Amino acid sequence: MNLQLHSETHDLSGKVKITGSKSESNRLLILQALQPLLTIDNISNSDDTVVLKDALKSQESIIDIHHAGTAMRFLTAYYAVQPGKTVHLTGSGRMRQRPISPLVDALRTLGAKIEYEENEGFPPLKIEGQKISKQEVQIDAHISSQYISALMLVGSSFPNGLKIHLNGKVTSLPYLKMTAQILKKVGVETIFEDTYIQVQSSRIEAKNIAVESDWSSASYFYSLAALSASAEIELSTYHKSSLQGDSSLVSIYKQLGVNTTFKDNSILLIKKETTTLNELRLDLNSSPDLAQTIVVTCFGLGIACHITGLHTLKIKETDRLLALENELTKLGATISVTNDSLSLAPSSQIHKNIAIKTYEDHRMAMAFAPLALKVPIVIKNAEVVSKSFPDFWRNLEDFKIYHKILP
Ligand SMILES: O=C(O)C1=C[C@@H](OP(=O)(O)O)[C@@H](O)[C@H](O)C1
Ligand SMILES: C=C(OP(=O)(O)O)C(=O)O
């Protein structure tokens, strides 16, 4: 489905209730599988969460998690420690190119039985669940934090807990802090040091946990606000003390002219004046999922940006650095990328009616959509948004950004 987007106003006002965080939801689903009396409110309606929920209920021996990175990594650890259960865990074509060997190596040293069914180091995997008696493991921490979160989630069910030694510079650190904080909410203590994480052995408590709405999904409304003439957008449900690192949006978009106020369980995004900033410089190692949104906002505002800390972007749903370079160049940008950084020069015009390829990446579709406030634009394969935000296109209509399905 290719969508032609156009906007009927430059002044935005409206309210959106955004679905629960997929990161929080997917951690809680694994913990719920270990403690069925745990209940979850405001769970995400994203494909990545639905696929994990279905997998955990399934009695089939082949489990296909499609594009969901967290589901792939969390289930690898979960199935590896379920004695007597054998599964074949697979995913989309892209998932079969996303590395998993740091997690498989770590689980194997703990006594897990995991085999690669096609290419060494990549899904699909055959996992024969084992009882784990070891309590210490090493892992390379700079490729994906999801491997470490996966170990943390299952570690609490080991007889002596689990000590995870972190080798190299830790990437996407707020996601590990989120895992530790969610474990704490259900009664599992962790000791978090620079070079290791100790998860104590505990019974997960039977509790009701409410998921905060997804901050990464909120980013597209921050971008809309920044690119509007004026905006007053209310998003729910959000809290000042979030578990999600992407709540860094508040300070990042302040520099881009969007002010945030917290009231009750909502945030109010206000844009009154255009930013006077000439260049945005950021290290996004802690918030990799915001990179595409922020770069496209800067392009739309005609300001330069230089972003570092982006090495994980190359192994996400697509090579996001390359995808950004290709599509922004089509719109008229001057952009250069390395393996872990991106530089965008200021530009004064945006080409109209360009068809943006989305590379099976939900964030490519959603990051480019706000440019409809500046020029008519086409988003190809727009259905990809359901990976994290199925209601996205409907929610845009509330801000008079309409779409026409192209033949
Ligand atoms: O743990 C999580 O929920 C996530 C961790 C991050 O991945 P990496 O640690 O691979 O950067 C992030 O990009 C992803 O969308 C969700
Ligand atoms: C990288 C992402 O997801 P995952 O790694 O879980 O597939 C994302 O949602 O941007």
| One domain for residues 224 and 170 | no
The pLDDT value given to residue 141: 97
Final residue in a domain of this structure, among 210, 233, 248: 210
Q: Structural domain of residue 205, as residue ranges?
A: 22-210
Ligand 1 in reach of 90 Cβ (< 6 A):
no
The pLDDT value given to residue 228: 97
| One domain for residues 216 and 307 | yes
Locate the DSSP E strands across 161-222.
Answer: 162-167, 190-192, 196-199, 208-210
- Helix, coil or strand: residue 270: strand
pTM of the model: 0.98
Per the structure block, which two tokens stand in for 360? 């099976």
Ramachandran class of 374: left when φ > 0, alpha when ψ lies in -120 to 50, beta otherwise: alpha
Reported as half-sphere exposure (CB side, CA atoms, 13 A), residue 82 has a value of 14
The tens-digit pLDDT sequence of the chain (407 residues) is 999 999 999 999 999 999 999 999 999 999 999 999 999 999 999 999 999 999 999 999 999 999 999 999 999 999 999 999 999 999 999 999 999 999 999 999 999 999 999 999 999 999 999 999 999 999 999 999 999 999 999 999 999 999 999 999 999 999 999 999 999 999 999 999 999 999 999 999 999 999 999 999 999 999 999 999 999 999 999 999 999 999 999 999 999 999 999 999 999 999 999 899 999 999 999 999 999 999 999 999 999 999 999 999 999 999 999 999 999 999 999 999 999 999 999 999 999 999 999 999 999 999 999 999 999 999 999 999 999 999 999 999 999 999 999 98
**203 is known to lie in a ligand binding site:** no
288 C-alpha to center of ligand 1: Å?
8
| One domain for residues 290 and 203 | no
Candidate of 387, 389, 392 to mutate for ligand 2, largest count of ligand atoms within 8 Å of Cβ: 387
- 358: cis peptide before it, omega within 30°? no
Q: Which atom of ligand 2 is nearest to the CA of 361?
A: 10
Per the structure block, which two tokens stand in for 193? 């040091």
Check if the beta carbon of residue 371 is closer than 8 Å to that of residue 396.
Answer: no
What CATH number is given to the structural domain containing 149? 3.65.10.10
Phi, psi of 318 (to 5 degrees): -150, 180
Active-site residues, by number, are 289
- Residue keyed to tokens 């494909």: 47
Give the integer Cα–Cα distance in Å for 66 and 77: 17
CA distances from 138 to 70, 108, 126, 129, 162 (A): 20, 11, 22, 20, 11
CA distances from 130 to 59, 133, 207, 299 (A): 18, 9, 28, 51
Q: Whose CA is nearest to atom 10 of ligand 1?
A: 144
| One domain for residues 384 and 290 | yes
User: For the sheet containing 190-192, what is the strand order?
Assistant: 136-140, 162-167, 196-199, 190-192
CA distances from 162 to 37, 181, 191, 368 (A): 23, 16, 11, 42
Residues 6+ apart with CB under 8 A from 276: none
**98 is known to lie in a ligand binding site:** yes
67 C-alpha to center of ligand 2: Å?
8
Ligand nearest the Cα atom of residue 389: 2
| One domain for residues 244 and 177 | no
Give the integer Cα–Cα distance in Å for 15 and 134: 50
The pLDDT value given to residue 274: 87
Check if the beta carbon of residue 12 is closer than 8 Å to that of residue 233.
Answer: yes
- Helix, coil or strand: residue 323: helix
Ligand 1 in reach of 175 Cβ (< 6 A):
yes
Give the integer Cα–Cα distance in Å for 303 and 297: 9
Per the structure block, which two tokens stand in for 172? 């996407």
Give the integer Cα–Cα distance in Å for 386 and 155: 31
Largest separation between any pair of C-alpha atoms in the chain: 62
| One domain for residues 50 and 7 | no
Give the integer Cα–Cα distance in Å for 247 and 103: 27
**374 is known to lie in a ligand binding site:** no
| One domain for residues 239 and 254 | yes
| One domain for residues 154 and 82 | yes
Final residue in a domain of this structure, among 165, 194, 210: 210
Nearest to 250 by CA among 227, 279, 226, 283: 226
**Which amino acid is residue 107, in one-letter code?**
L
Count CB atoms within 10 A of the CB of residue 373.
25
The pLDDT value given to residue 379: 98
**289 is known to lie in a ligand binding site:** yes
Ligand nearest the Cα atom of residue 177: 1
| One domain for residues 379 and 307 | yes
Ligand 2 in reach of 289 Cβ (< 6 A):
yes
Q: Whose CA is nearest to atom 1 of ligand 1?
A: 146
| One domain for residues 180 and 262 | no
Quick: pLDDT tens for 324-336: 999 999 999 999 9
Task: Please report the DSSP string for 227-242 in residue order.
Answer: HSSEEEEEEES--SS-
Which ipTM did the prediction report?
A: 0.99
Ligand 1 in reach of 124 Cβ (< 6 A):
no
What total of structural domains would you count in the chain? 2
Final residue in a domain of this structure, among 210, 227, 261: 210
| One domain for residues 399 and 256 | yes
The pLDDT value given to residue 329: 98
Ligand 2 in reach of 68 Cβ (< 6 A):
yes
| One domain for residues 273 and 376 | yes
